[in-house]
Chains A and B, each alone.
Chain A
Amino acid sequence: MAEMWINMGPQHPMTHGLWNLRVKVDGETIVDAEPEVGYLHRGIEKICEGLTYPQIIPIADRLCYGSSLTWSHLYCLTVEDLMDVEVPERAEYIRVMSIEMQRIASHLMWLAAYAGDLGLSVGFTYTMRDREVFVDLLQALTGSRLTYNYPRIGGVAHDLPPDFERDALRAVEYMERRLKEYEDLFEGSKIFMMRNVGIGILRKEDGMNLGVTGPSLRASGVSYDLRKDMPYSVYPEMDFNVAIHKDGDCYARYRVRMDEMWESCRIIRQALRKMPEGRWRIVAPRTAPAETGLGRVEDPRGEAVMYVVGDGSDKPYRLKIRSPIFVTVSAAPKILVGYKLADVVAIMGGLDMCIGENDR
């Protein structure tokens, strides 16, 4: 068969969201790939220039449907850096706990999508079912199921609801039981290992050069986790490990995310134990000085950065968002070439795409 271009997207079951991966195949083997993005460009950076600082928080939630809390948290961190706001300690702990819950929920959603891509329907429904536990917790905490709008500049919106601690611990225990089940379900199956081990290898040098971050980079053997390396919030107080794997293939990426879920469970326990009493919110200033602020967090998908320029008014002059997936996708051709057509879903699924933050 002659070489031909195949459009995988913008409306295709492989693409989680609106984007287009054009692959050139020779028979079943990929010889070239070219991602095309921008189908979901909403101009959030421009929208934010016309909104006041508190109004942007719900907009920042809309950046990523998988882990919206991380983005509003990042936005609040950035603006607090710009305004020099000191956040109460209880708020910091609540934030850390909630974004770790969000990380678990996001990774479970990734696992669900990944399993669905590989054709493992059971993986899809079981993980989505267990994600529901954490979504319910976050709903009880924040009042919404997907776009939480929970962090505020100078704290968080609500205090913990009654009995939250008990429910959270129960959920964490449940999750740890479930994670073992997933290991049986995924790694226990020969076919899953056949589809993953040795597929889509991203070498360490390539990953570092191409700016890949997050689990995808850690799966290649680079220990770069902002929670450890450049700690923000109360992460220095937490005892956790950075999940690293050295192979750089799809299995390593899967493994890193699974390990991160274990570590997140640990962090949630610690945060609940160490949670101090006190205020969870302070009054934030309305206007920001004419300086720049920078916030960086470890998103479930990688290193998320916001850079905000204030001009003395109550609206940001410029808000730049660094999406981890945007950079990771640009590395996709490097990973894809040489593998089979069916591996595209495993590789791209393993990178955990989120087009909302990618196109902004």
Chain B
Amino acid sequence: MNLFEFCYGIIHWLVDLVNNLWYRLGDTLPWYFGDFFTAVGDFAASDGHLTFMTILLECIIIILVALINVLNFLWIFRKLSGRILDFYGPYYVGYRIGGWLQNLADGIKLFVKEIIVPKKADRLGYLLAPIIYVGSSLLILSVIPLSENFGLSTNESGEYVTAGALFALAAFSIAPFAILLAGWSSNNKYTLIGGMRSAAQMMSYEIPLILCAASVFLVAGSFNFVDIVDAQHDIWFLIPLFIGFVVFLICLIAEVEIIPFDLPEAEAELVEGWTTEYGGMKFGLFYMTTAIRSYAGGALATAFFLGGWHGPSFIPDEIWFLIKAYIVYTVFMWLTWSVPRVRIDQMLGVGWRRLLPLAVLNLFIAAVLKSGGWI
């Protein structure tokens, strides 16, 4: 049973339940009322309505799963950084489960804070930026399936969006726009410089990222996640496309904006970069979105290079996928705490002079492998 069937079942059951009442009302009431209720019941039982509601339910489930994952990610982030940096990390809130509830508590705290808009800020852009940022990041998650059965699909056969991977990458690169908007509309020099840096950084690291993804598409011969993962049934793309994997990870770090590539919010020089003027839940959204994007990045790397949900079957597929994504994130964190931040010109230099040629080389290798039929 896949997610669509599961949701369809629930919706069908619910509609049946409510339609009992509706049809009974239609039977007992006078004709002019009764017809109306019968029509409502008919509409509710129609295929279109059922499919629509099913997809809505799927979305809700996927967002819930994603948000729980984000909480996990933040918890791992804090706990892991605590262990690496030699302190405890979250400890008291949710004492029994290792301080897992700390992020929830922080979220509630941020949520009840006042919404402050700087006087000279561009109000519309200022308020729109977090929404675009979060929305675009959630869009990525909508198309990444956790297994063959767990993903957003529109029909019973469980086929996902055909160009899902392409869509995910496209949604990944909406973020610079939101960041630039946030930086510009805050009307602050730090945010402006941060936004500019962010735009430059994301655009220059987008290209190697997509080239590496392209090598994967080339080898797998599809834009569909299920096909890509199925293509890795025998051998993970990690092994033939190792260069691509490394470049992809580095580019992901830059896209996610964590140290060593967190120049847009380099706190030592730009206070908090482009999030300087944001407070309360708006900041909370940015903070959460960083974790969402980390999750998305880990998931993309897992799907593209680490064999997706393939693994020994004693653990469910979905859990395998999450474990791999978590491991990718852990490596990110490990790197993050071990190195300082690079400078913007050095960073762009690395992006254009090192990573881009490597990505092209990787694409070339992929093409050779594919045309030679070795993979």
Contacts and interface: CB of A to CB of B under 8 A. Distances in A.
Does A touch B (CB under 8 Å) in the complex?
A: yes
Interface of A: 1, 4, 6, 8, 12-14, 28, 115-126, 129, 185, 189, 191-192, 194-195, 340-345, 349
A191 B86 contact: no
Given A13-B267, A117-B268, A342-B343, 20 more contacts: A1-B196, A6-B190, A13-B268, A28-B345, A115-B340, A118-B340, A119-B259, A119-B266, A123-B340, A126-B86, A189-B340, A191-B260, A192-B339, A192-B340, A194-B343, A195-B343, A340-B343, A341-B193, A342-B341, A343-B343
Given A120-B340, A121-B85, A126-B86, A345 B268 contact: yes
Contacts of A340: 343-345
Contacts of A119: 259-260, 262, 266-268, 340-341
Contact of B342 (A14, A122, A125, A195): A195
Contacts of A121: 81, 85, 259, 337
Interface string B329-352: 000000001111111111000000
B269 A341 contact: yes
Nearest to B272: A13
Contacts of A117: 268
A147 B260 CA distance: 36
A122 to B, nearest CB: 5
24 contacts: A1-B196, A6-B189, A6-B193, A13-B267, A14-B268, A28-B344, A28-B345, A116-B268, A118-B340, A119-B259, A119-B266, A119-B268, A121-B81, A121-B259, A125-B85, A125-B87, A126-B85, A189-B340, A191-B340, A191-B341, A194-B342, A195-B342, A341-B193, A342-B343
A120 B262 CA distance: 12
Given A340-B343, A340-B344, A122 B338 contact: yes
A8 B269 contact: yes
B313 to A, nearest CB: 39
Given A12-B271, A118-B340, A191-B340, A342 B81 contact: no
B366 interface: no
A118 B263 CA distance: 11
Nearest to B82: A125
B64 interface: no
A195 B340 contact: yes
A4 B189 contact: yes
Contacts of B189: 4, 6
Contacts of A4: 189
A191 B339 contact: yes
Contact of A122 (B84, B271, B341, B344): B84
Interface in B252-268: 259-260, 262-263, 266-268
Contacts of A14: 268-269
Given A13-B271, A340-B345, A342-B263, A125 B340 contact: no
Contacts of A342: 263, 266, 269, 341, 343-344
B186 to A, nearest CB: 15
A129 to B, nearest CB: 6
Nearest to B270: A341
A343 B189 CA distance: 17
Nearest to B337: A122
Contact of B341 (A6, A12, A118, A124): A118
B27 to A, nearest CB: 70
Contacts of A126: 85-86
Nearest to A15: B268
Interface in B297-347: 337-346
Interface in B110-160: none
A118 B268 CA distance: 7
Q: Please indicate which of the listed interface residues B189, B271, B337, B339 has the most CB atoms of chain A within 10 Å of its own CB.
A: B339
A13 B86 CA distance: 22
Contacts of B266: 119, 342
Nearest to B262: A119
Among B268, B339, B345, chain A packs the most CB atoms within 10 A around the CB of B268
B269 A344 contact: yes
A126 B86 CA distance: 8
A346 to B, nearest CB: 9
B267 A120 contact: no
A281 to B, nearest CB: 39
Interface in B228-279: 259-260, 262-263, 266-269, 271
